[in-house]
């Protein structure tokens, strides 16, 4: 089993974003049932965020309610929290005052019911250096407010610089069949060399392999994907070709396309030059969590076939606008 900050975690983690950062969040009891299912199935690395929602209702509010109802679960969970943005805005603020504000606010909302095992700034503030950010967080670790330091959306050079200041507990980046950019920016190599676990967010391509939508116009108002270039109608005319090939492979293998997509990420583990990779799919129902956690480990032949599919279909559109 992989470990993070010395704590054993499941091969697949869980991302809480869609429990609070969607136009219509699922009912609280449904969230609780889903979270219980993740733990029952060994998925005990949870990824949440101050930014996942609003200042009045985000991951921390939900987790407070959950651990109030299930206090015995707190010791089972390894919790990573993203913060460090301006209040109510998706703008990084790497000042010491704001980083401390963010950590303290997350702790206030958790209200002692669960510790923060890892804290990471959601984005590196371009007006500060990663060395400054990590130095601030290292002091907060010494103060006992957080257990370790994570990095989010960084390149390999930034990881190496950060690791010289303080041990890095995990690096969170996007990785899926829908986005393989980290193979080109030294992240994989840096994490492998420094023995830092890589946390793969959006491992199911932001839901594109579910078959539930074909372009941005079919998504509900307020859905962030409506504004992402890769999901726009013109781009999707090309990008859906990749999705269809993955769906075809999944049908032949007897799995859902989402399971093949997740299985590909999991199956990168153990391959030459790879770090430990822990995907964090979401899924806001117990049934979806069960399906995700039944994703197969793929054979070398399957991985080779998927590599050929990726080579045939270069995706159109940037990740973000």
Hey, which residues are catalytic here? 52
* Tokens read off for 59: 């991951």
Distances from the Cα of 185 to the Cα of 19, 181, 291, 313, angstroms = 31, 7, 32, 20
Residue among 190, 144, 167, 188 nearest 5 (CA)? 167
Interacting residues of 117 by C-beta distance below 8 A, sequence separation 6+: 4, 5, 7, 78, 79, 80, 146, 147, 148, 169
Enclosing H/E stretch for 31? helix 28-40
* Tokens read off for 242: 């990749």
Report strand pairing: 7-8 vs 3-4: antiparallel
| Cα–Cα distance for residue pair 182/176, rounded to 1 Å | 10
Enclosing H/E stretch for 282? none
Contacts by 58-62, CB closer than 8 A, 24 or more apart:
58/20, 58/21, 58/109, 59/16, 59/17, 59/19, 59/20, 60/105, 60/106, 60/109, 60/110, 61/20, 61/109, 62/16, 62/19, 62/20, 62/28, 62/31
């Amino acid at each position: 089993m992989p470990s993070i900050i010395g704590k054993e975690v499941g091969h697949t983690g869980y991302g809480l974003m869609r429990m609070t950062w969607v136009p219509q969040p699922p009912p609280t009891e449904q969230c609780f049932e889903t979270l219980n299912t993740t733990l029952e199935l060994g998925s005990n690395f949870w990824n949440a965020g101050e930014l996942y929602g609003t200042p009045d209702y985000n991951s921390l509010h939900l987790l407070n309610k959950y651990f109030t109802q299930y206090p015995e679960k707190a010791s089972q969970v390894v919790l990573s929290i993203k913060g460090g943005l301006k209040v109510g805005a998706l703008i990084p603020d790497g000042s010491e005052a704001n980083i401390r504000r963010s950590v303290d606010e997350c702790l206030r909302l958790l209200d002692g019911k669960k510790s923060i095992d890892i804290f990471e700034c959601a984005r590196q503030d371009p007006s500060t250096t990663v060395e400054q950010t990590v130095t601030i967080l290292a002091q907060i670790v010494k103060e006992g407010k957080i257990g370790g330091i994570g990095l989010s959306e960084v390149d390999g050079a930034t990881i190496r610089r950060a690791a010289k200041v303080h041990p890095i507990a995990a690096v969170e980046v996007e990785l899926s069949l829908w986005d393989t950019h980290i193979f080109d920016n030294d992240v994989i190599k840096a994490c492998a060399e420094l023995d830092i676990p890589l946390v793969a967010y959006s491992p199911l391509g932001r839901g594109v392999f579910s078959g539930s939508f074909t372009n941005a116009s079919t998504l509900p108002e307020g859905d962030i994907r409506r504004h992402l270039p890769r999901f726009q109608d013109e781009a999707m005319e090309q990008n859906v070709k990749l999705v269809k090939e993955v769906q075809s492979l999944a049908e032949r293998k007897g799995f859902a396309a989402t399971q093949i997509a997740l299985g590909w990420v999991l199956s990168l583990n153990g391959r030459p030059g790879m770090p430990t990779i822990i995907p964090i799919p979401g899924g806001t129902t117990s049934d979806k969590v069960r399906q995700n956690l039944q994703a197969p480990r793929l054979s070398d032949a399957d991985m080779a076939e998927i590599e050929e599919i990726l080579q045939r279909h270069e995706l159109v559109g940037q990740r973000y606008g």
